[in-house]
A and B are shown apart, each in its own frame.
Chain A
Amino acid sequence: MNAIFRYLKSKIHVLLFIFLEIFCISAIVRYNIYQSAFYFNNTKAFSAKMHEANIAMFDYFSLFKKNEALFNENIQLRRQLKDNFLIQPKQEFTINDTVYKQRYEYVSAKVITNSINNANNFITLNRGSSSGISKGMGVFCPSGVIGTVMEVSNNYCIVLSVLNIKNQIVPKIKEMNNTKGFIEWLGKDPNFVTLNKINKYEDIKVGYHVVTSPYSNSLPENIPIGTVQTIEKSTKESFYKINVRLAVDFGSISDVCIVKNLFKKELEELQNTPQILNFNK
Chain B
Amino acid sequence: MIGDIFKHLGLLLLLVVIQILVLDNINFGNSLAFLFQPQIVIMFVLLLPANINHIWLIIIAFFAGLLLDSLCNTYGINAAIFTLIGFLRFYFTADVENEISGRDEDKKIWTSKKSKVWKWTYFLGFIVLYQFLFVLIDTLGKNFFTLGFWAIIVSSIVTFFLILILEDLLFKPSKS
**Residues of chain A lying within 8 A (CB to CB) of residue B79:** 20, 23-24, 27
Q: Does B159 contact A (CB under 8 A)?
A: no
Q: Does B77 contact A (CB under 8 A)?
A: yes
Among A13, A14, A28, A30, point to the contact of B80 (Cβ < 8 A): A28
Best-buried of A14, A24, A27, A38 by chain B (most CB within 10 Å): A24
Residues of B contacting A: mostly: helix
Q: Does A201 contact B (CB under 8 A)?
A: no
Q: Does B43 contact A (CB under 8 A)?
A: no
Q: Does B107 contact A (CB under 8 A)?
A: no
Contact indicator B76/A13 (Cβ below 8 Å): no
* Nearest chain A CB to B93 CB, angstrom units: 14
| Contact of A34 with B76 at beta-carbon distance under 8 Å, contacts A16-B55, A16-B59, A20-B62 already known | no
Q: Does B137 contact A (CB under 8 A)?
A: yes
Contact indicator B76/A20 (Cβ below 8 Å): no
* Nearest chain B CB to A14 CB, angstrom units: 8
* Nearest chain B CB to A72 CB, angstrom units: 52
* Nearest chain A CB to B48 CB, angstrom units: 15
| Total residue contacts A-B, CB cutoff 8 A | 54
Q: How far is the CA of A25 from the CA of B55 in the complex (A)?
A: 20
Best-buried of A13, A23, A30, A31 by chain B (most CB within 10 Å): A13
Which of under 10, 10 to 19, 20 to 34, or 35 or more describes the interface residues of B? 10 to 19
Give the residue name and chain of the B residue nearest to A32 (CB). Answer: B75
Contact indicator B62/A32 (Cβ below 8 Å): no
Q: Does B15 contact A (CB under 8 A)?
A: no
Chain A window 5-20, contacts with chain B (Cβ cutoff 8 Å), 1 for yes, 0 for no: 0000000111011001
**Residues of chain A lying within 8 A (CB to CB) of residue B58:** 13, 16-17, 20
**Residues of chain A lying within 8 A (CB to CB) of residue B76:** 23-28, 30-32
Contact indicator B75/A13 (Cβ below 8 Å): no
Q: Does B166 contact A (CB under 8 A)?
A: no
Q: Does B74 contact A (CB under 8 A)?
A: yes
Q: Does A35 contact B (CB under 8 A)?
A: yes
Q: How far is the CA of A28 from the CA of B84 in the complex (A)?
A: 15
Q: Does B5 contact A (CB under 8 A)?
A: no
Q: Does B83 contact A (CB under 8 A)?
A: yes
**Residues of chain B lying within 8 A (CB to CB) of residue A21:** 80, 83-84
List, sorted by A's number, 5 A–B pairs whose CB atoms are closer than 8 Å: A13-B58, A13-B90, A21-B80, A31-B75, A35-B140
Known: A12-B55, A17-B84, A20-B58. 9 other contacts (CB 8 A): A16-B59, A20-B83, A21-B84, A24-B65, A27-B79, A30-B75, A32-B75, A35-B137, A35-B140
